Amino acid sequence: MRTDRPNGTAPRSRTTLGLVAALPLVLLAALLLLIVRTDVTRPLRGDAPPVEELAITSVRVTEHGFELSLLNDGPDPVRIAQVLVDEAYWAFAQQPPGELAHLDRARVSIPYPWVHGEAHELRLLTASGITFDHTVEVAVESPRPSARAIGLLALVGIYVGVLPVALGLLWHPALRRLGSKGLDFVMALTLGLLVFLLIDATHEGLEAAGQVASSYQGTVLFFLVGGLGYLGIEAFGGWLSRRPRAADGAWVAALLVAVGIGLHNFGEGLAIGAAIALGEAALGALLIVGFTLHNTTEGLAIVAPLARQRAPLGRLAMLGLIAGAPTIAGAWIGGFVYSPFWSVLFLAVGAGAIAQVIAQIGRGVAGGRALGDYLRSGAVVGGLICGFALMYTTGLLIG
């Protein structure tokens, strides 16, 4: 027997469900407001001093002195009372002035006659007597956005990113003449290169995570964003594979390798630009030579999946730009507005992308063979070892 619901029953049911679902959220908001307004922990603290944590997120050396970017990384308010430079009290200006609440930011300008190439000790003293120190290891004026600075950083990005990758792409004609054993060697070499890049990106990302304010939970942020990067490249690869013109799996694999390497090179550009901004690129030409050798092998990794087919010059150029050009953008950002927080994000995305590319190529190179059988091949083992050795050896020149 069928019974029809009265008109309006369904909308009323949805409204009731929405109200019931919202009730815990409303009560939670009221509870949080009560906790904040009453500060129930104050009687338990007694006369304990406030918990002050001040993060110095960046320091720029200007013509007139030092500029510090600050973040209140602790639960209690912080007020900057005095500033010392090289153990001498010094005048300073704070914008915005006054007390910093949790996660508030401020900029402190210190007019100081710094000495080119010398180290300078900076110390911030809060109203409660807590000190926070920072050392300018090498006093060199930080790059300012100008046509000349933008051009020079772009040139460095071209030297260490675009041109080396382009040179590596020139191995494609040689790869087309390889037999099955030779192809196994090259694909295993590619995997070795990418695994090294993954380890390198993870190491750099965790180092940057240790420099961000603790409130941002840098290590958790790195792995979370890295996982999202992996899933993002996985989804992008699936979308490419479903396109009618992208049925060729080799081109999809080459494009994914280029994207993953491009994201990694963006983080590499950040590091280069930041080193120049901090006056730490003292090795100069040797640093550029090391990165150039290091990144030439990345071009080989891109063309390895295309070893069995012709590759038009225009498409190879596109792959090279995707992998190399992000180095320029990274150098600009690192040189002018470097932040460890953004460095963690970009290095995490790059690491996740490279991990997905490794999985993608790993699924394809075995060609249906069991992993154990594949790894027993002398060509495969030799390729993996050579991939690691190449990246490690060229990395020695970077330092």
pLDDT of residue 369: 56
pLDDT of residue 282: 46
- Residues 317, 353, single domain; the answer is yes
pLDDT of residue 9: 58
354 part of a folded domain: yes
Question: Which residues form the domain of 100?
Answer: 54-136
pLDDT of residue 244: 62
Single-letter code of the amino acid located at 131? T
12 part of a folded domain: no
Q: Which of 70, 101, 136 is the last residue of a domain?
A: 136
38 part of a folded domain: no
- The structural domain count of the chain equals 2
33 part of a folded domain: no
pLDDT of residue 363: 66
Cα dihedral 297, 303, 307, 310, rounded to 10, equals -140
- Residues 381, 306, single domain; the answer is yes
Evaluated on CA atoms 222, 223, 226, 232, the torsion sign reads: negative
Segments in the chain below pLDDT 50: 1, 281-283
Q: What DSSP line would sit under 351-398, residue for residue? A: HHHHHHHHHHHHHHHTTT--HHHHHT-HHHHHHHHHHHHHHHHHHHHH
Is the pTM higher than 0.95? The answer reads: no
Instruction: Enumerate residues 6+ apart whose C-beta is below 8 A from 332.
Output: 150, 153, 154, 157, 269, 273
- Residues 130, 158, single domain; the answer is no
pLDDT of residue 72: 92
- Residues 204, 296, single domain; the answer is yes
35 part of a folded domain: no
Q: Which of 105, 136, 167 is the last residue of a domain?
A: 136
Query: Six-digit token pair at 31?
Result: 């509870």
pLDDT of residue 281: 47
What CATH number is attached to the domain comprising 90? 2.60.40
Closest CA to 124 of 57, 178, 43, 36: 57
Q: Which of 80, 114, 136 is the last residue of a domain?
A: 136
- At 87-106, the pLDDT tens digits run 999 999 999 999 999 889 99
Backbone angles phi, psi at 79, to 5 degrees: -125, 125
Q: How far apart are CA 102 and CA 259, in angstroms?
A: 38
182 part of a folded domain: yes
pLDDT of residue 325: 93
